[in-house]
Structure 1
């Protein structure tokens, strides 16, 4: 069974070596001590959310601290083909469910998208709170999945902003029920033997689907449409399903 994972600030593990002691503080330490009830001698992993992972054993527990004796510190590289889920805002927390599941499955970044047909709107103070909530969701999911990397939550975009992101991506795919080519076939055209970093956008619309005008706009910017199976999936399901298939086809799994 894998060790439980707790997150420390980015960069805080860089100078550690075998035999050293690391003190975890704050909410993560309190969670380890009061919720998980870790005890002296138990194995634990500490990750910094940016690829570094410490493996060690608990040396001491306090009211708000966890002291760990370091066994090893490793750095896990990101895949050279990065997957980014562009998730349209959706009602009933379905967008949060989508990014949570996609994080557990290995997504590298998520982009909140204010599409034309999104019922939910991020405006004013709500935008900052909603963005922070998405960051909290992906952090918790990364912890559950024992990941060393926490996916980044990029700034919200409207359809104009998304068109610019599409133009800059190596491959941008609109998951659409009217598409002619299967997602596997579209993904298969990407040269995965090229070792240079690549970025693939997986674009998912809201409950009402992506408007024809948006499909045209994104296609003009360079996106391609792809069919994900024979059934119409919910907004919360399409992204994670695409992550699974893409991870297999692109050799990430």
Structure 2
């Protein structure tokens, strides 16, 4: 299934006939100009992957495709799941952070209004920001052919992030001033990991203290100082190697 285009559906179909319609159907039929005989993949974003062949180009209506689903596969989640608490980047780097995290395999994203964030989300802007991140995650998930799409949570305060920490098997805070490297931490072979990525101005001392009191471990990812929009994706790559996520 390496070369087929992926499309997201609300409910994954079983083997047999299926009509791809709506936004995804219009994109496949009119933008990509998919034709009979071509193969594509349908996913519900919740672990189901369906390989299908196009048997008709729009017989069910304009902007739709008639498909024959040939195989349905259930893909398990990683044995170690990673939730990234991402401090709000400024400008276009906000979307870039979500795009890279999704491509790198993040399982969930929590937008965080950190003390030193230049970007400020409040009221309707917070709602729009969360919805934008969800759209970016959806599109990046299809592009990177992910059967599991990451959940994007509501905007969280520092107090709310502190409360989250207790629900995870391991919580890590990336901090360039720390001497302890990520490789020095005993990582779980299964379970849930929380990764906190601070803003460009860094995680404030009072935030580090609150997270540490809740059980989080502050670590250094490497010798280089990374931007907030890329640090999470780089850390996910490291966790992929250091845990069974990429096994």
Which category of TM-score, normalised to the shorter sequence, fits these structures? over 0.9
Partner of 2:228: 235
SS of corresponding position for 2:222: coil
Partner of 2:167: 168
Task: Assess if the C-alpha contact under 8 Å between 1:6 and 1:47 holds in 2.
Answer: yes
SS of corresponding position for 1:252: helix
Task: Assess if the C-alpha contact under 8 Å between 1:184 and 1:246 holds in 2.
Answer: no
Residue 199 of structure 1 and its aligned partner are, at CA, apart by: 1.1
Task: Assess if the C-alpha contact under 8 Å between 1:88 and 1:95 holds in 2.
Answer: no
RMSD: 1.1
Q: Distance in 2 between matches of 1:147 and 1:60?
A: 26
Q: Is 1:212 the equivalent of 2:244?
A: no
Partner of 1:248: 241
Q: Is 1:79 the equivalent of 2:72?
A: no
Q: Distance in 2 between matches of 1:38 and 1:183?
A: 46
Partner of 2:192: 199
Q: Distance in 2 between matches of 1:190 and 1:84?
A: 14
Task: Assess if the C-alpha contact under 8 Å between 2:109 and 2:151 holds in 1.
Answer: yes
Q: Distance in 1 between matches of 2:8 and 2:66?
A: 14
SS of corresponding position for 1:207: coil
Residue 80 of structure 1 and its aligned partner are, at CA, apart by: 1.8
Q: Is 1:158 the equivalent of 2:154?
A: no
Q: Distance in 1 between matches of 2:23 and 2:214?
A: 43
TM-score relative to the length of structure 2: 0.95
> For each residue in 1:198-246, what CA deviation from the matched residue of structure 2 results, as whole angstroms up to 9, or x when unmatched?
1111111111111011001111011001111101111111100001000
Q: Is 1:30 the equivalent of 2:26?
A: yes
Partner of 1:224: 217
TM-score relative to the length of structure 1: 0.93
Partner of 1:135: 134
Task: Assess if the C-alpha contact under 8 Å between 2:170 and 2:188 holds in 1.
Answer: no
Partner of 1:119: 118
Partner of 1:190: 187
> For each residue in 1:104-133, what CA deviation from the matched residue of structure 2 results, as whole angstroms up to 9, or x when unmatched?
111111000011111212211111111110
Runs of 5+ consecutive residues of structure 2 not aligned to the other structure: none
Partner of 1:49: 45
Q: Distance in 2 between matches of 1:38 and 1:120?
A: 41
Matches within 5 A, 1:60-99: 60-62=56-58, 63-99=62-98
Runs of 5+ consecutive residues of structure 1 not aligned to the other structure: none
Task: Assess if the C-alpha contact under 8 Å between 1:95 and 1:235 holds in 2.
Answer: no
Q: Distance in 2 between matches of 1:52 and 1:147?
A: 10
Partner of 1:6: 7
> For each residue in 1:129-164, what CA deviation from the matched residue of structure 2 results, as whole angstroms up to 9, or x when unmatched?
111100000001001001111100011110000000
Partner of 1:147: 146
Q: Distance in 1 between matches of 2:241 and 2:69?
A: 34
Q: Distance in 2 between matches of 1:122 and 1:228?
A: 27
Of 233-242 and 88-97, the range deviating more from structure 2:
88-97
Q: Distance in 1 between matches of 2:83 and 2:65?
A: 34
